[in-house]
Amino acid sequence: MMASAFLDYTCGLIIDYAHSSNRLSEADSRRIAKAGLIMSIVGNLGILATFKYFNFGVGLIHGLCVHLGMNGPFFDLAQITLPLGISFYTFQTMSYTIDVYRRIAKANKNFVDYSCFVTMYPQLVAGPIVRYKDVAEQLRNRTVTVEGFSFGVERFTIGLGKKVIIANTMATVADKIFAIPQSALAVNTAWLGIISYTLQIYFDFSGYSDMAIGLGRMFGFEFLENFNYPYIAQSVRDFWRRWHISLSTWFRDYLYIPLGGNRLGQARTYFNLGFVFFLVGLWHGAAGRFIFWGLYHGLFLILERGRFGRILDKLWMPVKCSYTLGVVIIGWVFFRSDSLVHAFHFLQMMFGFQGAKIYTPFDPTYINKETFLILSAGIIGCTPIGGMLKMSCLNSLEAAVCSFSRPLEIFTELLSTAYLIAIFIFSAMFLANGTYNPFIYFRF
């Protein structure tokens, strides 16, 4: 991480020198600035490829050689361990040099300040991906207030509850169901498993993002939002405007648009979308199932660019939401499965193929009153229904007792505080009583 930080800090200074020096010709200035940018991109992608994709590449070569009847000591190479959060801080440092090259941000000449940006621990392990231009001023000047700290504590507590209470519980259900042999898996059980995983991955990652935003706010940093109720999206395009916003906008601004975006004709637009989502899948993991997941989403984005998208826009909103959620849930099967073969077998069970039973009673070891309650809370929690009900109740109370506005405000604050304390206590209880605490996105 520090090698990556030093590389991009140095490249930023080179690019800044090329832009600001009066002794260089315009051609030399462009050449030196481009050299600094290329050095940064090649260095960062080289580090990322070595740690994240070396094992994958060796595995592919090994499989090919075994298929051709060849084997040897070359394949006894040690496995390279993946550093935590390498994809996140690599993309952050690359965005810095690209923004300096584009003159969107000024080069930071203080290595301590720049290192603070790279190593900012609230979001270091699992995002959101923070761009330098969004926090450059905050690195030098920020204000820590009681109100901001209070907001940070509230946001952190909500994120902790999302992760520990909902995501971990749903992970237990999903993991047990995905481990069931194909011959013993019924349609209803398969759907319970993928719905549980759909909730797990959302509350796992959005919970972490909430905790990161909350911790940052406690120190005076304001990070951008990373989720906006993605499961109520009305198209796959809309889904990617709401899901992992920092990643989707990063690929849009630093890859899709520079490739030409949608400005170079329909065929080039389709290629750009397919290529970008191939890389989105590869970014999530060095495995065929992640690549397939990325291409799968890219295919629907391409379809929505054409006539299908125009038809979709005219449909009734619940139909559009159902279509999008169906596409997303099927995509999560590939994301969660151990392999592509496992994913296709699981999909067959979901839709009743291969002689799958339509219904078998749920095993009480993975679905009981507690997990059903948390499942229901998760379904409600990934929609804005809860917030809408809260605002409606507050407005009704305020209208009913308008002459007691101050007591009502105090009562609301006390109720909100009690709610947060309850979440924190239950989260602590869940952590104390269980050792199963998977974190999905730290791997990326």
Residue 322 has pLDDT above 90, yes or no: yes
The span from the CA of 49 to the CA of 124, in Å, is: 19
- Tens of pLDDT, residues 276-319: 999 999 888 878 899 999 999 999 999 999 889 999 999 999 99
In the chain, % of residues over pLDDT 70 = 91
Q: pLDDT-based confidence at 12, cuts 50/70/90? A: very high
Residue 439 has pLDDT above 70, yes or no: no
What does the mean pLDDT of the chain come to? 86
Considering the entire predicted model, what is its pTM? 0.88
* Residues 374-403: tens digit of each pLDDT: 999 999 998 888 777 767 766 666 666 555
Hunting for tokens 């935003």 — which residue is that? Answer: 213
Structure confidence at residue 82 as a pLDDT band (50, 70, 90): confident
Tell me the pLDDT band of 404, cut-offs 50, 70 and 90. low
What's the rounded Cα separation, in Å, for the pair 395 and 415?
15
Please confirm, yes or no, whether 284 is among the known catalytic residues.
Answer: yes
Of the candidates 19, 62, 67, 284, the residue annotated as catalytic is 284
Assigned token pair, 426: 């239950």
Look at residue 76 in the predicted model and tell me its pLDDT. 58
Tokens of 438: 């998977």
pLDDT in tens, 231-274: 999 999 999 999 999 999 999 999 999 999 888 888 999 999 99
* pLDDT-derived band at 435, boundaries 50, 70, 90: low
pLDDT at position 396, please?
Answer: 65
HEC readout, 227-285: CCCHHHCCCHHHHHHHCCHHHHHHHHHHHHCCCCCCCCCHHHHHHHHHHHHHHHHHHHC
In which band, very low, low, confident or very high, does the pLDDT at 335 lie, cut at 50, 70 and 90?
Answer: very high
Q: Is 355 or 335 the better-scoring residue by pLDDT?
A: 335
**Kindly report the CA angle at 180 between 364 and 357, in degrees rounded to 5?**
80
pLDDT at 23: 83
Lowest-pLDDT choice from 54-63, 67-76, 228-237, 359-368: 67-76
Q: Per residue in 36-50, pLDDT tens?
A: 999 999 999 999 888
Tell how far CA 53 is from the center of its chain.
19
Question: Mapped to the 3 state alphabet, what secondary structure does 376-422 carry?
Answer: HHHHHHCCCHHHHHHHHHHHHHHHHCHHHHHHHHHHHHHHHHHHHHH
pLDDT over 60 at 75, yes or no:
no
Q: What is the pLDDT of residue 400?
A: 60
Exposed e or buried b per residue across 46-78, where buried means at least 16 C-beta atoms within 10 angstroms of its C-beta: ebbeebbbebbeeeeebeeeeeeeeeeeeeeee
DSSP-assigned letter for residue 5 = H
Q: How confident is the model at residue 443 (pLDDT cuts 50, 70, 90)?
A: low
Q: What pLDDT was estimated at residue 207?
A: 92
Predicted pLDDT at 397: 60
pLDDT at 398: 61
User: What is the pLDDT confidence band of residue 8, given thresholds at 50, 70 and 90?
Assistant: very high
Q: What is the pLDDT of residue 141?
A: 84
What would the mean pLDDT of 85-101 be, rounded to a whole number?
Answer: 88
pLDDT at 393: 67
Per residue in 136-157, pLDDT tens? 888 888 888 999 999 999 999 9
Tokens 């690195």 found at? 139
